[in-house]
Chains A and B, each alone.
Chain A
């Protein structure tokens, strides 16, 4: 069993959804039953594989990559097909494997207009493969490929099944991300040529990787895209200014994906126009590619530059928190409001990352998962509201607790979780991130970060404000006349229950047992924090 998992576990987890997509293409368009069966079966199979991996994962050793796969891929540029799972990847892998089947269940009854479940689910399965691959890849080029593959399916999901402004939103989403990743790849290539073998213990670790590293001397050009090798190198031999510029390339790639202020403008459009399923996947998983990239790639590989960039990232993160929150207060559309809240919440994650401490990074990882679940749920509910009311204009909604009481309660639960109520997952994503700014890594400006901490704390007040305000106006009161006796407005149906209850449970469980993630990710982020001296 263990042998099988070591050789095939990660590969199967990544490519089972893609295999499902290929099978789906062979099924004729008319047999919707078979299509939906494959659409659910493939992510479930991947999830089963993931569960097997998680059961066999050595939690005592979560700072090391496990189930490693290392095969030749593009020899000419020494880029290899390296996969691995450690405490940092595991929560995000779990999140992806958890969300996608729920999205499929939610779509069971109704694929959004203009229909065509075959294409819809095919794209979703390709997307899942790309997302899982991004979290497991341990080679920069492999990561880049998976990272980019997420673009096209999402582009089509928004563009074909989206709202009225879908053309504009989809191309904006696409070009923004592509712009960032074009600079990111240039940064990767520069690393390839400039990084040298390190000295001391790091050199021993590098040599232990074997292969072409086995007899490297300090100062030898590394010529590698392997994340492990580059991490051990820690940008040795790269002048500080050059390192800062290279980090800037990655900052563009990841920062746009997160999205950080001032690159966030694609997000509200993409979220508002995307179909519910697209919004959920975008919020729950795709945004995390950016934050994950910072923790996994940018910071440990170029620690020198990370320290130089940390204050800027921190400042932009807090601007994002406040700006996103103020943006929320100005929204009239429920989905757009949730999108802006994403900008704000991802700001907390980035603030945690910018402290460069194990504590802050750990908070960020938790924040990623918590935001994924909570915002995912919010978008689910918003989608269902839209389906019933055919509008998300907050002014026209109201009285959800009367028209559809169960849905009203679920929305209430999600908003409470989102504003960081203790006992629910959101609290553990937000509070430690703010706290971590009190004590940033050695060498960072303490005064600056404590100021940021205070400002971020103000952000939570604003968050409570806009979320309660949203809830009050949509759920309280009596339904407006136009919807008072609308027969379309029904309560939560069974597919929605199936899709939502696991998320509800997840939010509560993580709220009570935050150690589930903190303990797994802790050792992994500690190693990373140590590389930057945090």
Chain B
């Protein structure tokens, strides 16, 4: 029976692909690293605990080495028949994920140890999620993107519920999980439709077929498939109206995990959108531009308006993150006329957003070591007893609000430039709506600054608290990055000069 079946197969059909090991070295380092972490935990049990954060950091920084060597090499490497591409943009994003994860590990070190959580598993899950993110940066294939997405999401579901004793954390994990799998289902359905009309899982092949189909037979299915896929990722990047999970999850999850979700996980969602939209859906700008315009306007406006009312700083950052996602979604709406600038503005925004948002969370972790609460009112009088921390937090808040000379201004400026450079009515409208939203956002960021600087300490408790050096390290890296990117944005625009991207975009 089997023999007859085998005979049916054409001979020598399966070719083992030649693998460029250098190109996938970062992923290999992370993969091996995460296995080592798991093994170490199983063999040494509790004795391994104190070394876990250090080991995880080493793994993440170790993976930076091949990323750097690949960047020096500079050539674009195409693997697995075009479904995996390592180019300069993907390297920038991989470096971003590795550094972000490293900062998250720094932030977690004392938090997880003090809380007596499951340390070893915690770090191996973070590293596993990073693997998914790295794969996402290079994936040019629907399946690859989906696998990467699940790989980075599933550890995050567990991490969100890490504080098992806390109902809120359980709620956070469960909500995130249910919404996440729902989004995955929608996404997968969209992808299957896309496969049906595009006749391939490879993005470039699908794009060709989309152009061929045009407005002809199958066009409605194309529209449906695109909208489903975009919605699937809209959940991931918490765009309105698919944002409802974010505030509860952010509030309930352990704060370092929240930082991880708000920065790394959201960035991964954007990277997936970049891959799919710029390399595939861009063939039909008439469909996706209005969709993204609506998502962007809703996200920035609704996110901002709800953020105004928040009394908890983490929830405030969650809603502000929704609004910031709106700013990042806006350039997608001018993809037809200003493709390159749209792409570079999103990537630059992602990098700067990571620096300032991670920093803000690091400060919050430091402050809550004292206040034991993330209520904004509990930050009162911080300037009087921890002035250094207050100044650092103010820098992050000002940067989030987009005030020079801190990074955020250039991120916003880049988006404005992309929108106006597109020279479409939609682009101008988005630019103006964004300008108004910037002012609205400034209010709630400054509200936090106001509490820290102008108000009295609640209960008159003004004893400063010691901040562990790992946390200081996390704040140091992010504050330097935030200031540097703001004063010399050229640093960022030079590394993300995207010339290979321009080539890939067919220029």
Q: Which of B401, B416, B454 has the most CB of A within 10 A?
A: B454
Q: How far is the CB of B494 from chain A (nearest CB, A)?
A: 7
Contact B420 A193 (CB under 8 A): yes
Contact B493 A186 (CB under 8 A): no
Complex: how many Å from CA A186 to CA B430?
Answer: 11
Contact A155 B413 (CB under 8 A): no
Complex: how many Å from CA A141 to CA B493?
Answer: 15
Nearest CB in chain A to that of B403: its residue:
A148
Q: How far is the CB of B379 from chain A (nearest CB, A)?
A: 15
Contact B446 A76 (CB under 8 A): no
Q: Does A75 contact B (CB under 8 A)?
A: yes
1/0 per residue, CB under 8 A from A, across B42-54: the answer is 0000000000000
Contact B454 A159 (CB under 8 A): yes
Q: Which of A152, A156, A186, A192 contacts B431 (CB 8 A)?
A: A186
Contact B413 A189 (CB under 8 A): yes
By a CB distance below 8 angstroms, the chain B residues around A148 are 403-404, 409
Q: Does A185 contact B (CB under 8 A)?
A: yes
Contact A75 B403 (CB under 8 A): no
Q: Does B442 contact A (CB under 8 A)?
A: yes
By a CB distance below 8 angstroms, the chain B residues around A74 are 410, 488-490, 493
1/0 per residue, CB under 8 A from A, across B429-460: the answer is 00110011011001100110010011000000
Complex: how many Å from CA A145 to CA B497?
Answer: 23
Q: How far is the CB of A371 from chain B (nearest CB, A)?
A: 27
1/0 per residue, CB under 8 A from B, across A134-145: the answer is 000000010011
Q: Which of B387, B413, B453, B497 contacts A185 (CB 8 A)?
A: B413
Nearest CB in chain A to that of B494: its residue:
A75
By a CB distance below 8 angstroms, the chain A residues around B344 are 76
Q: Which of B387, B398, B423, B438 contacts A152 (CB 8 A)?
A: B398
Q: Does A73 contact B (CB under 8 A)?
A: yes
By a CB distance below 8 angstroms, the chain A residues around B446 are 155, 171, 174
Q: Does B285 contact A (CB under 8 A)?
A: no
Complex: how many Å from CA A160 to CA B454?
Answer: 5
By a CB distance below 8 angstroms, the chain A residues around B494 are 75-76
- Report if A175-B443 is in contact (Cβ < 8 Å); known contacts: A145-B404, A151-B403, A186-B435: yes
Interface residues in A207-227 by Cβ distance below 8 A to B read none
Nearest CB in chain B to that of A162: its residue:
B454
By a CB distance below 8 angstroms, the chain B residues around A193 are 420-421, 423
Q: How far is the CB of B322 from chain A (nearest CB, A)?
A: 20
Contact A149 B404 (CB under 8 A): yes
Q: Does A183 contact B (CB under 8 A)?
A: yes
Contact B431 A145 (CB under 8 A): no
By a CB distance below 8 angstroms, the chain A residues around B398 are 152
By a CB distance below 8 angstroms, the chain A residues around B450 are 159, 167, 170-171
Q: Does B371 contact A (CB under 8 A)?
A: no
Q: Does A166 contact B (CB under 8 A)?
A: yes
By a CB distance below 8 angstroms, the chain A residues around B453 are 156, 159-160
Contact B493 A175 (CB under 8 A): no
Q: Which of B383, B416, B438, B490 contacts A178 (CB 8 A)?
A: B438
Q: How far is the CB of B6 from chain A (nearest CB, A)?
A: 58
Nearest CB in chain A to that of B498: its residue:
A76
Complex: how many Å from CA A357 to CA B450?
Answer: 44
Q: Does A77 contact B (CB under 8 A)?
A: yes
Q: Does B373 contact A (CB under 8 A)?
A: no
Q: Does A488 contact B (CB under 8 A)?
A: no
* Interface residue SS majority, chain A: helix
Interface residues in B387-429 by Cβ distance below 8 A to A read 387, 394, 398, 401, 403-405, 409-410, 413, 416-417, 420-421, 423
Contact A182 B493 (CB under 8 A): no
By a CB distance below 8 angstroms, the chain B residues around A192 are 417, 420
Q: Does A190 contact B (CB under 8 A)?
A: yes
Interface residues in B342-397 by Cβ distance below 8 A to A read 344, 383, 387, 394
By a CB distance below 8 angstroms, the chain B residues around A73 are 488, 490
Complex: how many Å from CA A314 to CA B404?
Answer: 32
By a CB distance below 8 angstroms, the chain A residues around B493 are 74-77
Interface residues in A122-150 by Cβ distance below 8 A to B read 141, 144-146, 148-149
Interface residues in A58-110 by Cβ distance below 8 A to B read 72-77
Complex: how many Å from CA A170 to CA B447?
Answer: 11
Q: Which of B410, B436, B497 contacts A182 (CB 8 A)?
A: B436
Contact B490 A72 (CB under 8 A): yes
By a CB distance below 8 angstroms, the chain B residues around A308 are none
By a CB distance below 8 angstroms, the chain A residues around B443 are 171, 175
1/0 per residue, CB under 8 A from A, across B130-168: the answer is 000000000000000000000000000000000000000
By a CB distance below 8 angstroms, the chain B residues around A171 are 443, 446-447, 450
Contact A77 B417 (CB under 8 A): yes
- Report if A186-B420 is in contact (Cβ < 8 Å); known contacts: A75-B493, A145-B405, A149-B405: yes
Complex: how many Å from CA A183 to CA B450?
Answer: 25
Q: How far is the CB of B488 from chain A (nearest CB, A)?
A: 8
Complex: how many Å from CA A148 to CA B436?
Answer: 16
Nearest CB in chain A to that of B401: its residue:
A178
Interface residues in B263-318 by Cβ distance below 8 A to A read none
By a CB distance below 8 angstroms, the chain B residues around A159 are 450, 453-454
Q: Does A179 contact B (CB under 8 A)?
A: yes
Q: Does A326 contact B (CB under 8 A)?
A: no
- Report if A166-B403 is in contact (Cβ < 8 Å); known contacts: A74-B493, A186-B431: no
Complex: how many Å from CA A421 to CA B446?
Answer: 43
Complex: how many Å from CA A160 to CA B449?
Answer: 11
1/0 per residue, CB under 8 A from A, across B481-507: the answer is 000000011100110010000000000
By a CB distance below 8 angstroms, the chain B residues around A75 are 490, 493-494
Contact B454 A166 (CB under 8 A): yes
1/0 per residue, CB under 8 A from A, across B6-19: the answer is 00000000000000
Shortest 6 CB-CB contacts between residues of A and residues of B? A76-B493, A182-B435, A145-B404, A148-B404, A179-B439, A189-B420
Contacts A76-B489, A159-B450 known; list 12 others, CB within 8 Å: A75-B490, A75-B494, A76-B493, A77-B417, A119-B383, A144-B404, A148-B404, A149-B404, A149-B405, A183-B432, A186-B431, A189-B421
A residues within 8 Å of B by Cβ? 72-77, 119, 141, 144-146, 148-149, 151-152, 155-156, 159-160, 166-167, 170-171, 174-175, 178-179, 182-183, 185-186, 189-190, 192-193
21 A-B residue pairs with Cβ-Cβ distance under 8 Å, sorted by A, are: A74-B410, A76-B494, A76-B497, A77-B417, A141-B413, A145-B404, A145-B409, A152-B394, A155-B446, A166-B454, A170-B454, A171-B447, A175-B439, A175-B442, A175-B443, A178-B401, A178-B438, A179-B439, A182-B435, A182-B436, A186-B431
